[in-house]
């Protein structure tokens, strides 16, 4: 990652609280991980609840705009005093547009996948992003893949296949959208790593440029693709869930930066696997689906393969 820019009174994210050691640092690190896990799990089930409303289900782009707005506000606040978590920079507008299109695409497809599929299928399909990223890096960036890496990725694919064989609440359309979602997400993750090097910026600096531009791009599409909901006809509890989902999305993004900045990307990947287990377990319980031996074996293969791949990718 490029060297972070420093100005008086501002502290880069990766250097936040450098004097904290021992128990104090461990407590803060643990709090960051817990915030990330809690916000992710909360966001998935809030979104599933929100998409039960037929009006909001037909307003996917507006929903994405809401999350982008919340993320922009939180990141902008985090970059200002008294927080000063990172130094904001302005990047070329035109060069940001293609990246923002992928950014908006993966979020919209992800939300649509959640709306069309069960929580279990949605979460397991997301795991397929890992082998997709590895394949794209091999095809477009020429990154070599060892036999051990191939084995880890094969474990992910087989595990997802075993578990999804009995998944409920999934249609052909839902499976197609889920596939498109993890492919677009894979392209986005590969490209974002390249752009961070090209622009010499950190992830929060890049995201603070992406989010508001994405809002502008999506706002143009709303009249053509969204059905504007009648707010008065939406239940009050659903509106509360909609508001809370924006806060959860912003907390998720901020906690991701804190984990990677204070610890490592590997720690973040391990936390992601914990989130997957929690979401899958709760999702299946809420759907009344019994956890079979085949499901358990599939989950162990998928999460084990993803964890091994994360460790190999850090070497």
Copy the structure tokens of residue 119.
Answer: 């929580």
Token pair 């695409």: residue: 105
Displacement of CA 76 from its chain's centroid (Å): 19
Q: Which domain holds residue 241?
A: 21-313
Report which listed range, 9-18, 102-111, 119-128, 136-145, is most confident.
Answer: 102-111
Q: Is residue 14 part of a domain?
A: no
Q: Is residue 2 part of a domain?
A: no
Q: Is the pLDDT of residue 260 over 70?
A: no
Least confident of 104-113, 239-248, 255-264, 286-295: 255-264
Q: What share of the chain is helix, strand, coil (3-state, %, to 5)?
A: 75, 0, 25
User: Which of 95 and 312 is assigned the larger pLDDT?
Assistant: 95
Per residue in 291-306, pLDDT (tens digit) is 778 878 887 887 788 7
Q: Is residue 7 part of a domain?
A: no
Cβ atoms of 176 and 66 closer than 8 Å: no
Q: Is residue 194 part of a domain?
A: yes
User: Which of 176 and 202 is assigned the larger pLDDT?
Assistant: 176
- Residue 237's pLDDT is 94
How many domains does the chain divide into?
1
- Residue 268's pLDDT is 60
Q: Is residue 269 part of a domain?
A: yes
Token pair 């477009």: residue: 140
- pLDDT classification of 55: cutoffs 50, 70, 90: very high
**In the chain, what percentage of residues exceed pLDDT 70?**
80
- Residue 73's pLDDT is 93
User: Which of 14 and 221 is assigned the larger pLDDT?
Assistant: 221
Q: CA 77, CA 84: separation in Å to the nearest integer?
A: 8
Q: CA 174, CA 64: separation in Å to the nearest integer?
A: 19
Q: CA 30, CA 271: separation in Å to the nearest integer?
A: 11
Cβ atoms of 162 and 297 closer than 8 Å: yes
- pLDDT classification of 46: cutoffs 50, 70, 90: very high
User: Which of 10 and 56 is assigned the larger pLDDT?
Assistant: 56
Q: Is residue 10 part of a domain?
A: no
Q: Is the pLDDT of residue 217 over 70?
A: yes
- Residue 130's pLDDT is 74
Copy the structure tokens of residue 126.
Answer: 């997301």
Residue 166's nearest CA partner among 299, 32, 310 is: 299
């Amino acid at each position: 990652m490029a060297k972070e820019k420093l100005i008086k009174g501002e502290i880069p994210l990766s250097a936040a609280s450098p004097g904290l050691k021992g128990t104090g640092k461990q407590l803060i690190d643990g709090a960051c991980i817990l915030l990330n896990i809690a916000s992710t799990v909360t966001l998935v089930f809030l979104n599933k609840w929100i998409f039960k409303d037929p009006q909001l289900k037909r307003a996917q782009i507006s929903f994405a705009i809401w999350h982008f707005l919340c993320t922009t506000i939180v990141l902008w606040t985090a970059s200002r005093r008294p927080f000063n978590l990172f130094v904001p920079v302005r990047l070329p507008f035109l060069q940001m547009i293609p990246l923002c299109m992928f950014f908006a695409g993966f979020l919209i497809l992800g939300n649509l996948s959640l709306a069309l599929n069960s929580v279990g299928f949605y979460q397991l399909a997301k795991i397929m992003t890992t082998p997709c990223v590895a394949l794209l890096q091999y095809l477009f960036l020429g990154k070599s893949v060892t036999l051990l890496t191939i084995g880890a990725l094969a474990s992910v694919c087989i595990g997802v296949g075993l578990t999804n064989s009995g998944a409920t609440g999934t249609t052909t359309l839902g499976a197609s959208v889920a596939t498109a979602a993890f492919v677009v997400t894979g392209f986005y993750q590969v490209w974002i790593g390249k752009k961070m090097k090209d622009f010499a910026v950190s992830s929060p600096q890049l995201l603070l440029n992406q989010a508001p531009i994405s809002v502008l791009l999506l706002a143009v599409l709303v009249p053509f693709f969204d059905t504007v909901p009648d707010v008065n006809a939406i239940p009050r509890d659903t509106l509360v869930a909609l508001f809370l989902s924006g806060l959860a999305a912003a907390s998720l993004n901020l906690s991701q930066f804190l984990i990677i900045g204070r610890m490592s990307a590997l720690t973040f990947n391990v936390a992601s696997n914990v989130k997957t287990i929690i979401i899958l377990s709760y999702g299946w319980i809420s759907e009344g689906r019994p956890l079979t031996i085949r499901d358990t074996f599939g989950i162990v293969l998928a999460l084990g393969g993803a964890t091994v791949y994360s460790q190999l990718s850090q070497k």
